[in-house]
Amino acid sequence: MNPTVLAHIALTITCLRFTPGSTESVRRDIELQYANRSRAIVTHEVRGVLDVLAPGFSMHYVQGSIAGRKEWEDGLRARMAELATQAKRAKDAGGEWKNPESVSTVLQKIAVHGDRATVTAQTTTKNRATYPHGVAYTATLEETSEDTWVRTALGWRLLTIEQLHNRTMTDEVRTAAPKPKQ
């Protein structure tokens, strides 16, 4: 086959695959938004978490309760403040509190319907703390959710999170003898 024809076919396939609005393009955009949210959670930046949300955001918890955006935002602010307090207490005691240490989201499934996308996502949050008395604590939270995203003038924004499953695994490991006080 003519090399020019092959190049044209390859360019056409590439353009079709990554056309704005194509599933692959939307997947990349939404993966970037999850990464932005994860970074903001790890660094305790409330504004960064909120920037990912659509105006009508709601959280549907696995046990059946629902929080609207205002209620969820108030809870987020309170939780971020508590995390900062816990980190300071641990540091003052000679330990370290990394809550969360990392957050990652894997898109298991995505369906795009115009300006809406439904994503089945698995989010893993890892927390770690060490204390001067020789105890290390780790906890891993795994959450599976069905998330609805909407395309806005600012890009894709998270409209709803519906928790399908969540579980926490916790370890407490004695790492060493307590450090002597000086």
Classify residue 24: in a domain, yes or no.
Answer: yes
The residue range of the domain holding 149 is 3-174
State the CATH number of the domain containing residue 56: 3.10.450.50
DSSP structure class, residue 182: -
Average pLDDT over residues 76-105: 86
pTM: 0.78
**pLDDT per residue over 33-63, tens digit each?**
999 999 999 988 999 999 999 999 999 999 9
CA atoms of 54 and 164, how far apart (whole Å): 20
CA atoms of 121 and 109, how far apart (whole Å): 7
**pLDDT per residue over 98-148, tens digit each?**
888 889 999 999 999 999 999 999 999 988 888 777 778 788 899 999 999
Classify residue 182: in a domain, yes or no.
Answer: no
Q: What is the pLDDT of residue 182?
A: 56
Phi, psi of 129 (to 5 degrees): -145, 145
Classify residue 129: in a domain, yes or no.
Answer: yes
